[in-house]
Amino acid sequence: MHKFSSLLIIIIFLYGCSGSPEITKESSPESTKNKEYAKELFISGSLNEMKGNYTEAIIDYQEALRLDPSPGIHFALAKNFMRIKKLPAALIHAKDAVKGDADNFEYNYLLASIYQLGNQPDSAAKVYESIISKDSSDERAYYSLAQIYESSKPLKALELYHKLIELIGPEWNVLINIANINERTGNVEGTISTIEELIQIDPDNLRMRKLLVESYLKTEKYDKALEIVEELLIQFPEDINLIEYKANALIQSDRWAEGSEVYVKLSERADMPLESRIKIGAAFFNHADKDTLSLPRAKKIFNDIDADTTHWQVKLYLAQIALYENEDSTAVEHFKSAGELAPWNPQIFMSLGGLLFDSGRYEEAIEILEPVIERFPDEFALNLILGISYTQSAEYEKSESYLKKSLLLNPDDFTSLYAYGITLNQLKKEEEALIYLNRALEKEPMNVSLIGTIGLIEENLGNHDKSEELYEYALSIDSENALVLNNYAYALAERDIELEKALQMVEKALEIDPYNSSYLDTIGWVYFKLGDYEKAKDYIYQSLEKNKDNAEVTDHLGDVYFKLDNKIKALEYWKKAFELDPDREGLQEKIQKGEL
């Protein structure tokens, strides 16, 4: 009985009130007969629909539509086509239903639903907007439209949800959606306001109260967070989240001693989740600069975790702790382990490569970073570290490609410009090197080391005035820079000018760094130019003792012996220099002639 009552309501709604044009003249017998038969077909279709026989229902509705093309039959067809997932056909009939009776909201809602199922949210939104324009109090339309806008227009969705609250008052699902949007858009104050309303509706909801605590912590309202946490801990004294919130609030409000005690107890709990234990260890690590006890506690927590499980973040923190303790080798091993556990994380390899470079372990840095950079070819730091490691290993051709790539990725980086310039100079591309070194100088015009490097290259290119100008400028900034003093002195000695000035400068350089082989060679060469060959021999010999495979110093010692009338020794050292560097200018000629 109830089934047929429901069927009667459907027929009256869809067929009898379908919005067909009012008949103002007497219908023909044939027309009346068609309508009656259409009604019978509609009833048959409705019965099939109620039984779940949607395909049979569609056949009945299609035949009824042929006899009587009313909006109600289009609606019925659209609904059943949608049920069997034939959305194009459903859309055609839904549009025809709305076209026949635009003020029927059920027809509009079905059309919007089909648009949404067909992944056409913009079209669905237009339908809901049309409904709202006709009835500004339609709650369903506001809610549906807001849901569509949540991902694409979150602020518009918020506006619609707030309008809905005005219409119906505080409602749980609506407030939840508002809170979620505020959370996603970073509107923490808005989140707090909404959660407070939700708690008024359901004051015993633990999840909402925890979310409120989290929001208070984000907005630095630590006292409010603590107030709620203390109240909840009376009911839930073993709740890990609440205890963690308490520790966090205490620490963030500069009550480190109290908060750290809570953290220590938490870290010892067997049921503590791994991520929470890591967060606790991180809190102690981050406080190490302010409290000497924090680093050992962090180390113990991470070592305890490491004994139980293997996690890349734990290895990373242990590496950083080792760096704090100046245990570079231990740090390297932890970084390597972290890299094996998280090969997708380039930051680990940047830290590892940087540490190896700083430790002078260039070949090891190259060995580790070469396969890594294949996975991350566009990581600036990896290209830079690999490039400068090759430069330090005197593999300049390999260095060039990586440093060039680092500059493509970051054209204004000072270190890349400087390193690339030095590498190009080593490859005898002096003019090109100067382009990059001068770009670096624009960024750090007071960098004495850089100024000295440019001065050295200008000197080698024969631009003596420019070189002297740069050396003088560098020494005006730092008169104690030993490298600049030495290079300037050597440049003057090579040109046989201002030799006393050159001697004073190199003596000053040796006061700063008395065992530097280059400086010892320079002062020996200045004495050679001054004609004091015994002193020249003494200093150049000391230099060669420290750097036995240096062709230039070996050549210089040969020249000194020649001036001391020891031609046999002179020839011996010239030949040795030739073995070390066959391309050294003028060396072969001296050997052939047996004289300077």
| Ordered domains of the chain (ranges, CATH) | 6-16+31-135 (1.25.40.10), 143-203 (1.25.40), 446-527 (1.25.40.10), 548-596 (1.25.40.10)
If you ran DSSP here, which 8-state letter would residue 205 be given?
-
Query: According to the model, what pLDDT value does residue 4 have?
Result: 36
What is the spatial distance between Cα 205 and Cα 172, in angstroms, rounded to a whole number?
12
The whole-number pLDDT of residue 357 equals 95
Taking CA atoms, 95 is separated from 72, 129, 196, 442, in Å, by 12, 16, 43, 67
Q: What is the pTM (predicted TM-score) of this model?
A: 0.63
Structural contact between residues 403 and 419, judged by C-beta atoms closer than 8 angstroms: yes
- CA gap 503, 210 in Å, rounded: 76
Predicted local confidence at residue 29, as pLDDT: 61
Secondary structure of residue 556 in the 3-state scheme: helix
| Rounded distance between C-alpha atoms, residue 578 and residue 568, angstroms | 15
Q: How many CB atoms lie within 10 A of CB 319?
A: 25
Count of residues in the chain: 596
- Give the model's pLDDT for residue 30: 62
Number of Cβ within a 10 Å radius of residue 93: 28
Structural contact between residues 64 and 14, judged by C-beta atoms closer than 8 angstroms? no
**What pLDDT, on a 0 to 100 scale, did the predictor assign at position 28?**
58
Of 461, 458, 465, 428, nearest to 441 by C-alpha is 458
* Cβ neighbours, 10 Å, residue 301: 25
Which residues of the chain are modeled with pLDDT < 50? 1-26
Is 362:385 a contact under the CB 8 Å cutoff? no
- As separate numbers, helices (DSSP H) first and strands (DSSP E) second, the chain gives 34, 0
pLDDT of 199 reads: 84
